[in-house]
Amino acid sequence: MSERAHAILSASGSHIWLNCTKSGELSMHPDAPQRRGSVYAAEGTAAHDLAETCLREDKDADLYIGLDFQGFKVTPEMADAVQVYLDHCRSLPAISFYIEQNITLAKLWERDGLKCPTPLFGTSDFLALNAETLFVTDYKHGVGVPVEAVGNTQFLYYGLGGLFHILERGFQLPKQVTMTVVQPRAPHKDGPVRSWTIPTIDLFVWADTVLMPAVMSVIAGDTTYQTGQHCRWCPHAGQCPALRKQALTVARTQFDDVTATPPSPNLIPLEELGAILEQAELISGWVSQVRAVVSEAIEKGHKIDGWKLVPKRATRKWVDEEAVSTIIEANHILTDSFYTPPQIKSPAQVEAILKRDKRTLSDIGLDQFITAESSGTTLAPDADSRPAAATGPQTTFEDVDL
Ligand code: SF4
């Protein structure tokens, strides 16, 4: 498997350092905090490895169920998600393709005889090319935040790198670049595969007018903090004076006395709550970063007044399932109640199995037994790409013509 290296001014962090060049400048320091990994990110890396293996070996993802990738067992859910990405990559009208391709943007400077002032590189999940189009496809395994293709600077970064990559291999520049995100596990109104196509020339204009000036600002030691939604992902958020100032300003506008108990939300007029929640999102992101910095400091042995680390709630599990089975049988216990019976696979898994025989759910009449049910609703800002759920009186009195 390919080991993924990340530039300090990375593609995935570009929405942060392009919006706030101070963040990029802070990341240049040798002891700068890194963006934190999580179990979800590690699972995403495992899913990427599975996808890479499937593409290189030309196999479907469900053949690897139960196998270990980067410490994660491939589950049917992971296989289903990765298969959506594989199907998309394999459907592209390509004359040439590259899997997990290392890309660099150094040529942006080298074309003018200059040296790239800082390494700008990354790994593009999948590049495919024909005479008209360079296809840049990125797999996202995350469930939390649906990623937009349109306007996504990570994809612009990979797109540029992809163009330099194919130029080096003697191909002509294509007319356009299609950037696609495949994110099967996060619901989005446009479905799991979303694309954005722009003329190739626009990508170079963006490089000249946005990316290169931002890189030069970072290198010049720009000191302008620019707070915004991107701060939520910034590795410097926990120590950022601009974000701290903004959080305190917001808190002071909501509470005259910051030591007092906050007013009950039930007593705040409904028309004010939206604005409060918007500001609270920024503060809660900052508080999460502060928590992470404090936890890390305590882990490293530092003393933080008033705080300590405690074990999370433990869940019990069998250490030897074979021995447990023996004891159950020896005690003549009704064994059925001690076992989870086999369950029928999910519609997506059954669909994948049928696909191998070139059949569909409807071919054998299974589609009529499928229903899609959301487990509830969750609060999201208006800008969120998911359609709003039906709420209010309509949901209670469906037959009433309101
Ligand atoms: S947290 Fe601070 S340094 Fe990071 S992006 Fe926001 S304003 Fe910039």
Please determine, for residue 393, whether its predicted confidence score (pLDDT) is greater than 70.
no
- Least confident piece of the model among 29-33, 227-231, 363-367, 372-376: 372-376
What does the mean pLDDT of the chain come to?
86
Please determine, for residue 172, whether its predicted confidence score (pLDDT) is greater than 80.
yes
Most confident of 22-26, 206-210, 299-303: 206-210
Question: What atom in ligand 1 is closest to the CA of residue 226?
Answer: 7
Provide the pLDDT confidence category of residue 277 given band limits of 50, 70 and 90: confident
Instruction: Name 49's Cβ contacts closer than 8 Å, sequence gap at least 6.
Output: 1, 69, 70
Residue 68 is given by DSSP the state: E
Which domains, from first to last, does the chain contain?
14-219 (3.90.320), 229-303 (no CATH), 313-375 (no CATH)
Per-residue model confidence (pLDDT) at position 246: 81
What global pTM score does this model have? 0.72
- Residue 282 gets the label, from left (phi > 0), alpha (psi -120 to 50) or beta, of alpha
Please determine, for residue 137, whether its predicted confidence score (pLDDT) is greater than 60.
yes
Compute the distance from residue 241 Cα to the ligand 1 centre, in Å. 8
Ligand 1 pocket at CB < 6 A: 16, 20, 22-23, 26, 225-227, 230-231, 234, 236-237, 240, 242-243
Q: Whose Cα sits closest to atom 7 in ligand 1?
A: 227
- Least confident piece of the model among 42-51, 153-162, 197-206, 297-306: 297-306
Q: Whose Cα sits closest to atom 5 in ligand 1?
A: 231
What's the token pair of residue 355? 């696909």
Question: What atom in ligand 1 is closest to the CA of residue 289?
Answer: 1
- The number of residues in the chain equals 402
Per-residue model confidence (pLDDT) at position 279: 75
* Among candidate residues 196, 180, 182, 194, the one with its CA nearest the CA of residue 127: 180
Provide the pLDDT confidence category of residue 401 given band limits of 50, 70 and 90: very low
Q: Whose Cα sits closest to atom 3 in ligand 1?
A: 23
Best of 20, 222, 246, 288 for a ligand 1 pocket test (most atoms within 8 Å of beta carbon): 20
Per-residue model confidence (pLDDT) at position 402: 35
Alpha helices for 233-373 (secondary structure H): 241-254, 270-299, 321-330, 347-356
Question: What atom in ligand 1 is closest to the CA of residue 16?
Answer: 5
Compute the distance from residue 10 Cα to the ligand 1 centre, in Å. 16
- Least confident piece of the model among 78-92, 276-290, 309-323, 350-364: 276-290
Compute the distance from residue 242 Cα to the ligand 1 centre, in Å. 7
Question: What atom in ligand 1 is closest to the CA of residue 235?
Answer: 4
